[in-house]
Structure 1
C-alpha cells in the first residue's frame, strides 16, 4: 500500500485563537506579542495584508497600529495550548495514526483512506469543515505521498497555488503539473531548507523546488547531509520519513523568561528561579523522567551595552537523579547564590534540567536522601501537586520559594482571559435590550 500523508495546519493560529471568543475582532487586524510584549510573533490575515512583518518590535509600529486599528494581545500560552489539544482531538477521528508536529500542525496517515471516501481532497474538505464547525478555527490541508510533499502541498493550499477550498492534493496532479508547479516555488519553502542552506543551494544554481528535486542526490549528500538527501528523495515521492506517533522524551528541559523590569535583588531572582524549576519539574514528571543535573544562568540586558554587563551559568550534577520540585529548587537556589553578583540589573534568568533518565531505570543510591526520588512519599506528594494544578489551574499550589507578589514577572499588559482554562475567563453572554 502506497503511503499518503496529510498535513493539517491552523491558519494564523495564535491570532485566530484571540479572535475566536470576541466577535468584535472578526474583521479587525490582530497581532500577538512575544514575552514582555516585545515583538510581533503572530499576525492575522488583515495584518499580513498591511505588510507588517513578523518579529518587528511593537513600539516601532505604534503609528500603524493607531492608523489601522490594530489590536495587540500578550501571548496567552494556556489558551493556545488548550485549543491545540482540542484540534488534535478532532483530527484523531480522521486517522488512527497521527503525529503532532507543532502546536498548530499535525500529520495524519491517510494510507488506505481513499478506499473509504469519495476522494482524498473531499476527505480534506471534511476535515476542514469539522474543525471549523466544532472549534471555529480555519485550517488548510496538504495531501501527498511523503511528509515533505504534504508540507509543500499545505503551503500551496494556503497561498492558493494549487487545489481549492483550502485543500491541495498532490496525489491527483500529473508529473508534468507537479513539475510546472514546483518550478514556481522558491526552494526556501521546502521543509528543512533554512536561510543558510538556501544560500548554499543558490550558489549551486538551485533556486526552485523543481531544481532541488532534480538535483543529484549523492552530490547533495556529499555537500550537505543525509538529511537533505532524504528531502530530495521525498520531493520525488519516495517516503523516507515515518509518522512519529510517539513523541520521544526530551533529553533536556529548559525554562527561562525575560523579566518585566530589571531585577537587582537576589531574593527576587530566587523567586524567579524557583518558579522556573517548578515548571521544568512538572514537564519532567509528565514524561516520567528524573534529572541528574541542574543548570542555572542569569544575565543582564545584552542589548544595552551602555550599562554594566554580567552573565554567568553553572551546571551541577546531583547526588541522585530526582523529579522532586523541592530538591531541584534547593539545588537551583544554591547555584544562584553562587553565581549572583550584586550591583547589576538582571534582565533574564533560566534553568535547565540535564542528564534525564527514565524513572523506572533510576540508578539506586546506597543511602536515599530524605525527599529524594527513592522516597515513596516524594512521588506521592509530587503526584498530588500535579493533580491539583492540573485540576484547578497551574500554580494553584506551589512552593513558598516561588513568591507571591512576583514583581519580576514578564509584562503581559494585553493578556486575554483564559476562556477555556479558567472559570474566571469564561465568556459571558448578556441579554440585549429591545424597543
Structure 2
C-alpha cells in the first residue's frame, strides 16, 4: 500500500499557522514579485479566484471581502515542509518527498496501515497546526486519486481515505475527472474529451494497443496505475543535470557593464548551487534577450556556450568563462530585459578528470569558495561577492506582503506577553 500525504492549500495554511485571525478569511499567496495567485484558501476559492489570477484583478477584494494577500515566503514554507517530513518519518522509513507539500509513503510490511495514517494526520495537525489529507492505494497514481477524495470529502473520510478493493477503485475512477489524472496535461485532456473520455474510468477502457500507439509506454503505465497495478516504486533523488539562474531586469538596459555585472552574479549563484550538490560543470551557456512585448524597440536575443578546460564549481572560474560567452553575443544598441546563465555536463566533485595541458585552479580556489560560502551562510546571502559583482546591488523581489520568518529567524519569533 502507498500513501500520499498532502498539505491542504499548503502555502496559505502555512501563513495561517502564525496568524490565527486569518482563519475563516480568504487568503491568497502571490508568486514572485507579487505577480499572480499561486495558492488559495478554500474561502478564496469560494470567491471565484482562479489559480494564476493576476494580483491587480483581485486587489479590490481586500476591501470588499476581507481578502488577505501574502507574498510567497518560501523560507517559511520550506521549513514547515521539513517539519512535516520529520513527523512523517516517525511512522514510515520509506518516504519519497515528491514536492514541498507532498510525500509518498511506502507502507508494505507495516501493520494497521490505515490507523497509522490517521495518527500521522492527527500528529501533524496537533504538532504544526497544519491541515493535511492522506490518500492510500496500491499505486502512486491511485493514491493521488484517493488523496483527492480525502480532500474533497473531509466530513465523510476524516481527510484519510484508503482505496483497498476493486469496488472502491471502480467508484473512484468513475468520479475522478480525466483532466486531474496525474500526468495528463490540459492539452491532452482536451483531446481525450473530444474522444468522449471524461473520467479516469473512461480512460482505463481504452485498449492497451491504442494507448501504446497514442501515448507510448507512459499511457499504458498510467492505465495500469489507475487500475491498482503499481508501475512506479520509490524514486531516489539524483543531482540536477543542469543548474540555471535567470532574471528579468527592472527595466531595459543597453549598457555592457550592467549586463556583465548581472551575468557575473548569476554565474556565481550557479557555482554556489554546484558546490551545494558537490558537482562541477564542463559547459556554461549565457543568454541575453530584449523585451519581446515592446515591438517598437530593437529586438535581439542570442546565446553562446563555452567549454571549460577543466570541470569547475569555482565562482571565479565560472564567472570568468560566463564573461567570455557574453562577449560573443553582446551587441551595443538594444535594451536588454533578461539574461541568464546555465551550467551543464556535471561530474562529481571528487571524480574530476583534468587536462594536463591546461591550468587547473580548482584546488587553489576551493578554500576560498569554502570560506565565502561559510560567511554567506552565517551573515546572509550575497554578503561576500566577487569583484565583478556590484557590492551595493542585491537582487530583491517585489514582496510588499511578505510575512515574517517565524520559524527560521530568532528576530522574527513570536513574542508572548504573559
Runs of 4+ in 1 over 6 A off after TM superposition: none
Task: Look up the match of 1:145.
Answer: 138
TM-score by length of 2: 0.92
* Separation in structure 1 between the aligned mates of residue 394 and residue 275 of structure 2, nearest angstrom: 28
CA change 1:89–1:218 in 2 (3 A) is same
* Separation in structure 2 between the aligned mates of residue 306 and residue 180 of structure 1, nearest angstrom: 57
* Separation in structure 2 between the aligned mates of residue 200 and residue 79 of structure 1, nearest angstrom: 39
Matched, 1:420 2:411: no
Assess if the C-alpha contact under 8 Å between 2:385 and 2:391 holds in 1: no
SS in 2 for 1:398: coil
SS in 2 for 1:355: strand
Number of aligned residues:
418
Task: Look up the match of 2:267.
Answer: 277
Q: Deviations over 1:176-207 (max 9, x none)?
A: 33312311221111110111222232343322
Matched, 1:178 2:178: no
Q: Deviations over 1:347-387 (max 9, x none)?
A: 322211111122233222114535x33x2x42233233333
Displacement of 1:343? 4.2
* Separation in structure 2 between the aligned mates of residue 56 and residue 93 of structure 1, nearest angstrom: 38
Displacement of 1:69? 2.3
Displacement of 1:93? 1.7
* Separation in structure 2 between the aligned mates of residue 327 and residue 417 of structure 1, nearest angstrom: 36
* Separation in structure 2 between the aligned mates of residue 343 and residue 414 of structure 1, nearest angstrom: 37
Deviates more, 1:291-300 or 1:405-414: 405-414
CA change 1:31–1:182 in 2 (3 A) is same
List runs of 5+ in structure 1 lacking aligned partners: none
CA RMSD of aligned residues (A): 2.3
Task: Look up the match of 1:51.
Answer: 48
CA change 1:138–1:342 in 2 (3 A) is farther
Of residues 216, 219, 231, the one that matches 2:210 is 219
Task: Look up the match of 2:93.
Answer: 96
Task: Look up the match of 1:255.
Answer: 245
Task: Look up the match of 1:300.
Answer: 290
Displacement of 1:129? 1.5
List runs of 5+ in structure 2 lacking aligned partners: none
* Separation in structure 1 between the aligned mates of residue 73 and residue 114 of structure 2, nearest angstrom: 34
Task: Look up the match of 1:76.
Answer: 73
Displacement of 1:326? 1.4
Q: Deviations over 1:225-267 (max 9, x none)?
A: 10111111111111110111x2012111112222344444433
CA change 1:26–1:203 in 2 (3 A) is closer
Displacement of 1:23? 2.6
Matched, 1:126 2:119: yes
Task: Look up the match of 2:159.
Answer: 166
Assess if the C-alpha contact under 8 Å between 1:73 and 1:416 holds in 2: yes
CA change 1:409–1:341 in 2 (3 A) is farther
Displacement of 1:397? 3.3
SS in 1 for 2:385: coil
Displacement of 1:304? 3.4
Assess if the C-alpha contact under 8 Å between 1:268 and 1:406 holds in 2: no
Equivalences for 1:33-432 in 2 at 5 Å?
Answer: 33-113=30-110, 115=111, 117=112, 120-160=113-153, 164-171=157-164, 174-244=165-235, 246-367=236-357, 369=359, 372-373=361-362, 375=363, 377-406=364-393, 409-431=396-418
* Separation in structure 2 between the aligned mates of residue 327 and residue 401 of structure 1, nearest angstrom: 12
Assess if the C-alpha contact under 8 Å between 2:145 and 2:172 holds in 1: no
* Separation in structure 2 between the aligned mates of residue 384 and residue 86 of structure 1, nearest angstrom: 29
* Separation in structure 1 between the aligned mates of residue 109 and residue 34 of structure 2, nearest angstrom: 46
* Separation in structure 1 between the aligned mates of residue 169 and residue 209 of structure 2, nearest angstrom: 23
Assess if the C-alpha contact under 8 Å between 1:156 and 1:162 holds in 2: no
CA change 1:417–1:336 in 2 (3 A) is farther
Displacement of 1:31? 1.6
Task: Look up the match of 2:28.
Answer: 31
Displacement of 1:91? 1.4
* Separation in structure 1 between the aligned mates of residue 123 and residue 336 of structure 2, nearest angstrom: 48
Deviates more, 1:92-101 or 1:159-168: 159-168
Assess if the C-alpha contact under 8 Å between 1:261 and 1:408 holds in 2: no
* Separation in structure 2 between the aligned mates of residue 6 and residue 222 of structure 1, nearest angstrom: 31
